[in-house]
Each structure stands twice: as C-alpha cells, then as structure tokens.
Amino acid sequence: MYPWLIILPLFTKRYGRKLPQIITSLASMAIFIILYYSQSVIHILISEVLQGFLYAGNVTVRILVVTDYTSPKYRGIFLAIKSASFFWGIWVANAIGTFFYWKNIAILGFICAVYTLNVLLWPESPYWLASKGRFDECRKSFRQIHGINVKSERELKELIKVQTERFRIENEYGKMGVLEMVRSSEFYKPLLLSAVAIIQYHLSGKVVISLYILDIFKNITANEWSAYIAMLILDGVTVFGIILAKWISAFTTQLPIERKITKKMLG
C-alpha cells in the first residue's frame, strides 16, 4: 500500500484524475475476480496484497476526485460519505461472511467495482486542466460538471484567475523548490495534523482489536456465535463514530462562520 501512496499522487498530477480512477476501477474488478476464484490461502493472500492498491487509491485519488468534481457546498458531505463508505464496506463484508458463504463478498465487491466504470463517461477534471494551462478545455469540462449559472461562472472565473496568476509568478520567480515547499506552513501543518490523527488511530488499538476481535471474544466467551456478533457490533460502532465525528466537525466549522456573518449584520 505505502508505495502507491506516493506513486498515485504523482500519477494524478501528471495524467489527470480520470485515468488513475479508471485504472483503480479495473484493478478493483480484477482483485474481486481473483478472490472469487481463489482455491488456496496463497490466492486469497495475493488478493489481499493487491487490495493495498485500492486503499491507497481511496485516500489519494478519490479525495482529489471528490474535491475536483463536486460543488464546494456539498463537498464536505461527499467526503464524509467517502470516509464512512470504507467502513460500511468492512461492516457489510463481515456480515456476509458471518451469515452467508464468504465468496458472496467477492460477488458484491465486483458489482460495486463495475459501477465505478461510469468514470469512462466523465470529463477530465477542470482543476487539473487549468493547472496545465488548458483553459478552453477547463471551461468546457467545468460547465459540463457544474452547469451554467452565475455562481458556477464566478467560481470558474476565479479558478482561471488563480491559475493564470500562478503561471505568471512561476515565469517571473521560477517554480517553488521541493525544500522550499516542505518548509512552507501550507505543507507541513496539514501533514502534521494528519500524522497526529493517524498515530492516535493506531495507538488506540483499533486496528489490533479489528484484527483479533474474534480470537479475543472466543477466549472470553464459550459461545463462538457471540464473538461474531461482537465483531459486527464493533463495526457498527465504528461507522456510527465516523458519522458523528463528521457531523460535529461540520457543525463546529459552520458555527464560527455564522457568528461572523451575524456580527457583520449587527454592525
């Protein structure tokens, strides 16, 4: 997984958002086909190793896709759904494995993977096109995605203005070097915040509990069925926690903005 976390962002920067998403969709289909026809532990292990590519795509390519293809008004909602859907999938897969034949997981996963091929009908990301100076294609793509109205045209104008200014600065002062970029607060502050969140997630024991919950509960209780029910409850708590956290985050972010607007209205 970890090499792809570096490769995929570089790939999306060079080739856009659409092609990496197509590759991810095709890889997802291939992975579930391998899982369905697996006849040994080695085959299952190969499928699981390849799943690392999908996970890397989920935290890199799909975030770019959501931010590039959706309106800022609904972007937070879609990002919340994207984050929660990963754990919904784990919950559903565990439920299928508990109550039905485990290969049904591969069937459902393949169906979901086929659905993602609708990316073939997408235009290229207008933000990526603008970053490459292809402004005519950017306008066409942006209007195809967001439609033509006063608000979207204002956003499109601002996008082109920002990228035009970036090209002017790069031509005048040169591109920002890697060392200079790493030293900038726009780079290291989000990186440190993300690192703290990820470290907290792993040190909390969530990953360990998720992997060994069946063994733990089988030792605690004599009933094997109770262990599987506990696993599903843990998955449910995880999904609920993600939804609650996203709601609190959206509320606490919106509240200061509403206060600023109220102060301006009151004078």
Read off the pLDDT of each residue in 148-161 and give the average, rounded to a whole number.
89
How many domains does the chain divide into? Answer: 3
Give the phi and the psi of residue 259 in degrees, each rounded to 5: -65, -40
Task: Tell me if 122 sits within 8 A of 69, measured CB to CB.
Answer: yes
CA torsion, points 83, 85, 91, 92, in degrees to nearest 10? Answer: -170
Is 169 in the same domain as 187? no
Residue range 195-212, pLDDT digits in tens:
888 788 778 887 777 778
Longest dimension (CA), the chain: 73
Together in a domain, 57 and 151:
no
Kindly report the pTM of this predicted structure: 0.76
Percent of the chain with pLDDT over 90: 10
| pLDDT at 264 > cutoff 70 | no
Residue 267 banded pLDDT, cuts 50, 70, 90: very low
- Looking at 81, 102, 122, the residue that finishes a domain is 122
Kindly report each contact of residues 102-106 with a partner whose C-beta sits within 8 Å and lies 24 or more positions away, as own/partner: 103/35, 103/36, 105/35, 106/32, 106/33, 106/35, 106/36
59/131 same-domain check: no
Are 197 and 239 in a shared domain?
Answer: yes
* 129 and 219 housed in the same domain: no
In sequence order, the 6+-apart residues with CB closer than 8 A to the CB of 123 are: 18, 140, 141, 144, 145
Q: Do 170 and 115 lie in a common domain?
A: no
- Same-domain check for residues 188 and 202: yes
**Does residue 172 surpass a pLDDT of 50?**
yes
For residues 94 and 143, membership in a common domain is answered with no
**18 and 92 together in one domain:** yes
Report pLDDT digits (tens) over 60-98.
Answer: 888 888 888 888 777 777 877 777 787 888 888 888 888
Judge if 148 and 264 occupy the same domain.
no
Question: Does one domain contain both 139 and 104?
Answer: no
The domain in which residue 236 lies consists of: 183-267
Pair (156, 224) in one structural domain: no
Phi first, then psi: give them for residue 175, nearest 5 degrees: -75, 150
Q: What local confidence, expressed as pLDDT, does residue 1 receive?
A: 65
Query: What mean pLDDT comes out for the span 46-53?
Result: 83
